[in-house]
Amino acid sequence: MSTIYIKGATLGNQTKDILIEGSRIAAIADKLENLPDNYRTIDGTGKAVFPGFVNMHTHSAMTLTRGYKEDTSLQEWLQEIWKIEARMDEEAIYWGTKLACLEMIKTGTTSFYDQYWMIDSAVKAVEEMGIRSWHACVALNLKDESRSQGIKEEIMAAYERSLKWNERCKMSVGVHAPYTVSDELIKWCSDFAREKGLTVHIHMSETEQENIDSQNLNGCSPFEHLEKLGVLGPEVIAAHCVWLSENDINIMAKYGVTAVHNINSNLKLASGSRFLYNELRDKGVRVCLGTDGCGSSNNLDMREAMKTAALLQKGWRRDPAAFKLQELMQVATANGAQALNVDAGEIAVGKLADIILVDTDNYAFVPQLDLVSNFVYSANSSCVDTVICNGEIVMENRVVPGEREILENARRICNKLYNN
């Protein structure tokens, strides 16, 4: 069992020592004494401690599609992206996911919730990189029932394989979206997830057209349709949720559905900009933050997503108090941990040691009147100095082991994808 002693770091507005034993935070004090033998010391001078970010919606290996087919709508973009994805093999998924993990570590993320293909290759990459992940095995049959049996068999087989994964990696069921998955397959996925105690990751109400099409096809909104199917519950984690009616929000609150805000992707694809954070929060809906994949958001930087989300809420509501800093931090950390039922997301004794240390010895933290404000609004993510996940150091002094190998192999894979 490893032991880490963080000496004299800033926590909130105080200087604290933090002791990590094994995977958890063992002690927090003004000055720790009687330390155990054989501990590793991290000098916290000039550094602030925050919980690691929980990125609640990613398509990790889409790092390999960064910058592809810019300035197109969601549906146009999907048609082009799917052509590139058809060329990806297990090696591409492995190195694309490693590249994603590298980027997330460098920007302070310690946990992410993924929906993508070939999940075993992604899990291998995450296990080696040392952070936490949830992998949604994708159901997408384009409403063609002839494809459903093969999808069901793969989900069941993936579940059996997942029982042997590292404890930091968990399986989920990924229903792509109501407009790409048949009702029968959606219901089967829901039943399977409930039987096995898994979460369900689904894209919901991302575009206005999606809602219009649902009204034309089903006579109701996507959320109203899923309610009729009987598939909503606290296990459902719904990405996007941009175009919601008051009734949709009531339905989400009734069944305990979690919403994931992906502001940069939604803005870039012009899917929508008025995310109803206040309305969701006030009805008791848990809201989390995600980046989406690099194909649509171009990066996996949660701090950047926090800033954009807050500024846009303030702007369109004409309310400078919208999305206050402490709520913003909770949405990016603790809320995701709660949704995934992992004992992390805050710096407290007994919690899992998923911690980032931010270098405050730079212009962005002068004056240091509000640490969260400095970090979110003034700094950029290059100030993330050290990252600890599950009590293990995965980056120290901005150094991630194997970074050069990851970059070289990711470039090699991209050359194969785009030049052949």
Under the banding of pLDDT at 50, 70 and 90, the label for residue 56 is: very high
| pLDDT beyond 80 at 49 | yes
Helices and strands, number each (H, E), in the chain: 16, 16
pLDDT at position 74 is 80
Residue 78 has a pLDDT of 84
- What pLDDT, in 10s, does the model give residues 108-135? 999 999 999 999 999 999 999 999 999 9
Q: Could you tell me the two tokens for 184?
A: 């029968």
Residue 364 has pLDDT above 90, yes or no: yes
Mean pLDDT over 1-16 rounds to 95
Which whole number is the average pLDDT over 276-281? 98
Give pLDDT, residue 354: 98
Level-2 CATH architecture, domain 3-50+354-403: Roll (2.30)
Specify the pLDDT at position 222: 98
Confidence grade of residue 204 (pLDDT, cut at 50, 70, 90): very high
Cα–Cα dist 340/104, whole Å: 18
Cα dihedral 176, 177, 183, 185, rounded to 10, equals: 0
Which residue spans within 176-294 are E strands per DSSP?
A: 200-204, 236-240, 258-261, 287-289
Domain 53-339: top CATH class: alpha beta
Please state, rounded to an integer, the average pLDDT across all residues of the chain. Answer: 97
> What percent of the chain is predicted at pLDDT more than 90?
95
Q: CA 318 to CA 336: how far, in whole Å?
A: 27
Residue 77's pLDDT is what? 84
Is 75's pLDDT higher than 90?
A: no
Check whether 335 has a pLDDT greater than 80: yes
pLDDT score of 197: 98
Residue extent(s) of CATH 3.20.20.140 domains in the chain: 53-339
Q: Write the pLDDT tens digit of every residue in 298-326.
A: 999 999 999 999 999 999 999 999 999 99
Residue 380 pLDDT class (50, 70, 90 cuts): very high
pLDDT of residue 60: 98
Q: Residue 72: its pLDDT value, please?
A: 87
> Mapping DSSP to helix (H, G, I), strand (E, B) and coil, where does residue 49 land?
strand
**Residues forming CATH 2.30.40.10 domain(s) in the chain:** 3-50+354-403
- pLDDT of 64: 97
- Residues 209-259: pLDDT tens digits? 999 999 999 999 999 999 999 999 999 999 999 999 999 999 999 999 999
Q: What are the Cα distances from residue 302, in Å, to 54, 109, 183, 288? A: 8, 7, 33, 11
